C-alpha cells in the first residue's frame, strides 16, 4: 500500500489547540445539572498513568505463544514458509502490487485451483486505487484551513456561550477525507444532559447563526430544520461546504472509532476512497437523495473486512478493546487520544491486495440477504432482523456502533433500494469482465 502522506494519520490532531477552551462547559450557569465526574484528568491521561501491568492488560495479552512456536520451528522446513508469509503480508501493505506468490497463497487459503491467468490480474486495479488515494486524499494544507475555521468559529461562539467546545467531525478527521470533503462541526453545549433537538438545538443554532455572520469568509448561510437540525454555509478560504450541529456526541464518538479503523490496516483507507468515488459516480452515495450516506458505506466496508474475508482483515475494535470505546466517556478527551498507537497494526494474516478486496466486496454484497440480516460493526458479525424491532421492514439495516440505530434509514423507497442493489451487481459483473476502476464508474 502507498503511504498515507496526504493524510498524516500517524499523529493525533488536537482539534482544540488553535483556540484553547479556558472554561469548563459544565460550569455554565445555563446548565446547573452537575456533570459526570472525571477526576480532573482525561481518559487518555488516566490510562497512561497506570502501572505497567494494568496498561498491558488494557493493550491485551502479548502473543507469547507465537514467539515460543517461532523459536521451536527455527530449524524446521516451515520456517521458510513463515518468512514468506511475513514478506507477502508486508508487500500487501506496501506500494508494491500483489505478485505471483500472493496470488498463489490466497488461492491455497481459499482452496481454489491456481492458474497462470490469476497471476498479477489485480495489479492494474490496485495501482489505480493507490493513485486515486494519493491524488485525492485531503492534504495537510486543507486540514489546516479547516482547523483555522474551527478556531474562528469557536472564538465567535464563546462570546455568548463561553463554556462550549467545538469539534471537527466526520470525514475531515476520521481518516477517509478527500480533497472535496465537507467540513462538519459539532458544538457541545453540555455533556451533563441531552439537548432537545426539536426545540432547544434550533434555538442554539439560530443564535450561533447571528454570532458567526460577521465572519467575512462565510457565504450562503442557511438553517435546515431537520430531525437533527443543522446550520449550513460555505467557507471561501478553504472552499468547503460546512455543516454545524448541536450536541451530537455520537458523531464525535464514531469519528474517533472510524479514525482508529483507518489506521489499524493500511488497506482500509484506499478501499474506502475508491468505493466512495464509485458510489458518487453511480449516484448511490447521498443520503439526502434517499441512498447510502458515506458513513453507511464505510460501515459496510468495515463489516466486509471483518467477516467476509478469509482470514479477516479487521476485528471488531469495540469487542477487542472495549476500554478504548466506552459509550459514556468525555467526548472532549477523544481528539487527544489515539487507540491505534496501543494496538498491533497491519497484523492481519490476510495478504490480499486492495484490488482483490474490492472485487470481494462487490461479490459479498451482490449475494447479501438484505431482508433478514443487520450489519453490525460493533459486534463484528451479522444480526438477524427478526430479533430487532427497530430494523423491521427496513430495506437496508446497518447498526450504528454506539446508538445501535439504523444508519441507512434514509433508504426508505423501494426504487432507491433497487438502484443500490442493481449498481452493486453491475460493478460485480463488470469487474469479472475487466479489473479496472474506470470500468465500474
Please give the domain boundaries of the chain with CATH numbers for all domains.
Answer: 25-32+139-252 (3.30.460.10), 91-135+253-440 (1.10.1410.10)
Q: Nearest-CA neighbor of 285 among 416, 188, 383, 110?
A: 416
- Position 297 pLDDT exceeds 90: yes
Q: What is the pLDDT of residues 22-55, one digit of tens each?
A: 333 333 333 333 444 444 444 444 444 444 443 4
186 burial (CB, 10 Å; 0-12 / 13-18 / 19+) is buried
pLDDT, residue 55, reads: 40
Plot region of 380 (φ>0 → left; ψ -120 to 50 → alpha; else → beta) = left
- Position 169 pLDDT exceeds 80: yes
Mean pLDDT, range 410-416, rounded to an integer: 97
Q: What value does the mean pLDDT of the chain take?
A: 81
Q: What is the pLDDT of residues 335-359, one digit of tens each?
A: 889 999 999 999 999 999 999 999 9
Mean pLDDT, range 303-312, rounded to an integer: 96
Mean pLDDT, range 272-289, rounded to an integer: 97
- Position 405 pLDDT exceeds 90: yes
How far is Cα 148 from Cα 19, in angstroms, rounded to an integer? 9
Locate 166 and state its grid cell.
467545538
How far is Cα 166 from Cα 151, in angstroms, rounded to an integer? 8
pLDDT, residue 192, reads: 86
Indicate the range of 4-13, 248-257, 370-379 predicted with least confidence.
4-13
Mean pLDDT, range 77-83, rounded to an integer: 41
Given a contact cutoff of 8 angstroms between Cβ atoms, the answer to whether 190 and 26 are in contact is: yes
Given a contact cutoff of 8 angstroms between Cβ atoms, the answer to whether 255 and 240 are in contact is: no
3-state helix, strand, coil in the chain (%, to 5): 50, 10, 40
Q: Nearest-CA neighbor of 108 among 100, 227, 215?
A: 100
Q: What is the pLDDT of residues 95-153, one digit of tens each?
A: 333 444 444 444 444 444 333 345 489 999 999 999 999 999 999 999 999 999 999 99
- What confidence tier does 76 reach under pLDDT thresholds 50, 70, 90? very low
Amino acid at each position: 500500500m502507498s503511504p498515507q502522506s496526504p493524510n498524516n494519520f500517524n499523529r493525533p490532531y488536537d482539534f482544540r489547540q488553535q483556540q484553547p477552551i479556558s472554561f469548563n462547559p459544565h460550569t455554565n450557569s445555563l446548565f446547573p445539572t452537575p456533570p459526570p465526574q472525571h477526576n480532573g484528568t482525561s481518559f487518555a491521561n488516566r490510562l497512561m498513568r497506570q502501572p505497567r501491568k494494568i496498561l498491558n492488560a488494557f493493550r491485551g495479552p502479548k502473543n507469547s505463544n507465537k514467539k515460543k512456536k517461532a523459536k521451536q520451528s527455527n530449524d524446521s522446513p516451515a520456517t521458510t514458509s513463515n518468512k514468506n508469509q511475513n514478506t507477502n503480508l508486508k508487500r500487501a501493505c506496501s506500494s508494491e502490487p500483489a505478485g505471483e506468490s500472493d496470488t498463489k497463497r490466497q488461492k491455497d487459503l481459499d482452496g481454489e485451483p491456481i492458474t497462470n491467468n490469476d497471476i498479477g490480474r489485480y495489479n492494474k486495479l490496485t495501482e489505480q486505487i493507490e493513485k486515486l488515494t494519493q491524488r485525492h486524499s485531503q492534504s495537510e494544507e486543507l486540514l489546516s484551513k479547516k482547523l483555522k475555521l474551527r478556531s474562528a468559529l469557536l472564538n465567535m461562539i464563546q462570546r455568548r456561550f463561553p463554556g462550549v467546545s467545538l469539534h471537527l467531525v466526520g470525514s475531515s478527521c476520521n481518516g477517509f477525507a478527500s480533497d472535496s470533503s465537507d467540513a462538519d462541526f459539532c458544538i457541545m453545549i453540555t455533556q451533563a444532559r441531552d439537548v432537545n433537538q426539536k426545540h432547544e438545538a434550533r434555538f442554539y443554532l439560530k443564535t450561533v447563526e447571528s454570532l458567526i455572520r460577521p465572519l467575512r469568509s462565510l457565504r450562503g448561510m442557511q438553517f435546515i430544520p431537520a430531525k437533527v437540525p443543522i446550520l449550513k454555509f460555505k467557507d471561501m478560504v478553504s472552499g468547503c461546504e460546512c455543516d454545524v450541529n448541536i450536541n451530537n456526541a455520537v458523531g464525535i464518538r464514531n469519528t474517533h472509532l472510524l479514525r482508529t479503523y483507518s489506521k489499524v490496516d493500511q488497506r482500509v483507507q484506499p478501499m474506502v476512497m475508491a468505493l466512495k468515488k464509485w458510489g458518487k459516480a453511480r449516484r448511490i452515495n447521498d443520503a439526502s437523495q434517499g441512498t447510502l450516506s458515506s458513513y453507511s458505506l464505510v460501515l459496510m466496508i468495515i463489516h466486509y473486512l471483518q467477516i467476509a474475508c478469509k482470514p479477516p482483515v479487521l476485528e471488531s475494535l469495540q469487542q477487542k478493546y472495549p476500554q478504548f470505546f466506552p459509550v459514556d466517556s468525555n467526548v472532549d478527551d477523544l481528539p487527544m487520544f489515539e487507540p491505534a498507537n496501543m494496538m498491533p497494526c497491519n497484523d492481519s494474516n490476510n495478504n490480499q491486495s486492495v484490488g482483490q478486496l474490492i472485487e470481494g466486496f462487490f461479490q459479498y454484497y451482490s449475494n447479501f440477504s438484505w431482508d433478514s440480516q443487520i450489519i453490525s460493526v460493533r459486534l463484528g458479525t451479522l444480526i438477524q432482523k427478526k430479533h430487532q424491532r427497530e430494523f423491521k421492514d427496513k430495506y437496508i439495516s446497518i447498526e450504528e456502533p454506539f446508538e445501535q440505530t439504523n444508519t441507512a434509514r434514509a433508504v426508505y423507497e423501494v426504487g432507491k433500494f433497487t438502484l443500490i442493489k442493481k449498481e452493486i451487481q453491475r460493478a460485480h459483473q463488470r469487474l469479472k469482465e475487466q479489473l479496472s476502476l474506470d470500468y465500474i464508474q
